[in-house]
Amino acid sequence: MTLAATADAMLGTVELEQVGPRRVGRLASYDGLMLEATGFPMPVGSNARVIDADGHAALAEVVGFRGNRTLLMALDADAPHSAGARVEPDRRGGSVDVGETLLGRVMDALGNPIDGMGPIATSERWPLAGKRGNPLDRARVTEPFDMGVRAINALLTAGVGQRIAIAAGSGVGKSVLMGQMIAGADADIIVVGLVGERSREVSDFLATKLSGPVRQKSVVVAVPADHPPVLRLRAAMRATAIAEYFRAQGKRVLLLIDSLTRVAHAQREIGLSLGEPPTMKGYPPSALGLIPRLIERAGVDAHTGGSITALYTVLADGDDTDDPIVDTARAIVDGHIILSRALAEQGVFPAIDVGKSLSRVMSDIVTPEHQQAAQILRRLWAVYEENRDLILMGAYRSGSDPIVDVAIARHDHILEFISQGQKDRVDYATSTQQLLEAFGG
């Protein structure tokens, strides 16, 4: 036997991987947020490690180019970078670790556990930016999704695979409403992305809203407000990627991102650092373009039967519901819930403004009797709001308009119907029955 034949027999079916040259760049500039490297022609979205002379390594992400220089955003804002530091590629940036072992765990934007329960052992990967699919692979929303909140189940009925925006100013009750939905939601898996929140709120969210059995079917990705913008952006993308993985397994997933506005703020910081022109309220085009790319990843998978029902909280700066982020999100989602500060000040929780809120899929998933009862309640709400000033000033005389008379008489009943205790759960069947009994016909 020849030497070549012997070598082939020893190797058998082992295939040798062709390894190309490893590109190593040098750090040429750093202004506290943006790094510039030479000799590092890696594509946008790639991860890199910046290694200083003392051996300290910090992560960064490629976000653009300027001439022959590569622009990177630091993932560690406090890293002691020095001129001439080595910039090496890190192949882990484009995908995330996924698997059943994620359930019950809390991690940061890079997938590192922060719950003190040890490392997370996973065997599968999923693209961070998701898998681009055919629009026809998204099935229609035809099945009600029980949220456990009477006002939403009855008046803003959500569907399996629906995307919903919850918009309100600060301190009106967005996080509280999300907690009620988590406790009452009929879902196999719950994925929560806490983006740009205060550190105290992360601990509070885990202790009060994800306690008990719910925690064992939940995955939390948390990045507080003091972290670099790339990490805040990655937190939302990681949470969405994890939800996509479980949907591909045929699971019914509830995805919650709190908040979409802070995700847009992170992209605004990155865009302005890259020299993008600011548009409405200082948002560059990339910040507004990010929202539909993130939201469109949710929905029903026609092949696996799995679904992602997504809730996105949107912070309306100054209670302005025409804010660019609120308006952009409202245009792409399948429904929106507007919370009213006036109702919150009256002690009505959840403070849902029925007249300004809408579910675009409700007519496809409820019975005609349910739809009619909801329309009657909404009509009475709208009539009362139109005549509120006259009623409160005492300028309206009883008997002038029969519809206004009914709206005044039933207003307290409507507020009582909307109100619900934070720890109470009202399922979909009970919500529908109570609506039909109170406002049917």
C-alpha closest to that of 315 among 356, 262, 357? 262
- Other residues' Cβ atoms within 10 Å of the Cβ of residue 90: 16
- Burial class from Cβ neighbours inside 10 Å (0-12, 13-18, 19+) for residue 204 reads middle
pTM of the model: 0.89
Distance between CA atoms of residues 26 and 83, nearest Å: 8
289-301 tens-digit pLDDT: 999 999 999 999 9
- Burial class from Cβ neighbours inside 10 Å (0-12, 13-18, 19+) for residue 127 reads middle
Residue 21: predicted pLDDT: 67
Domain segments of the chain as ranges: 20-89, 95-365, 369-440
Residue 20: predicted pLDDT: 57
All residue ranges of the chain with pLDDT < 70 are: 1-21, 77, 92-93, 441
Please write down the HEC assignment for all residues of 364-428.
HHCCHHHHHHHHHHHHHHHHHHHCHHHHHHCCCCCCCCHHHHHHHHHHHHHHHHHCCCCCCCCCH
From residue 427, alpha-carbon distances to 145, 150, 157, 208, 398 in Å are 10, 7, 12, 20, 37
Side chain identity, residue 137: D
CB-side exposure of 83: number of CA atoms within 13 Å? 3
CATH number of 369-440: 1.20.1270.330
Residue 3: predicted pLDDT: 44
Which residues, 6 or more positions from 296, have their beta carbon under 8 angstroms from its beta carbon? 332
C-alpha closest to that of 145 among 354, 335, 309, 369? 309
- First-to-last alpha carbon distance for the chain, in angstroms, is 93
- Cα-to-chain-centroid distance, residue 91: 26
Residue 322: predicted pLDDT: 80
381-416 tens-digit pLDDT: 999 999 999 998 989 999 999 999 999 999 999 999
CA quadruple 246, 248, 254, 259: dihedral positive or negative? positive
CATH number of 20-89: 2.40.10.170
Whether 148 and 214 have beta carbons less than 8 Å apart is answered as no
Whether 405 and 399 have beta carbons less than 8 Å apart is answered as yes
Residue 299 region, left (φ>0) first, then alpha (ψ -120 to 50), else beta? left
The strand ranges marked E within 163-231 are: 163-168, 189-197, 218-224
| Domain topology for 95-365 | Rossmann fold (3.40.50)
Residue 8: predicted pLDDT: 47
For the record, the structure tokens of 159 come out as 């569907």
DSSP 25-81: EEEEEE-SSEEEEES--PPTT-EEEEE-TTS-EEEEEEEEEETTEEEEEES-TT---
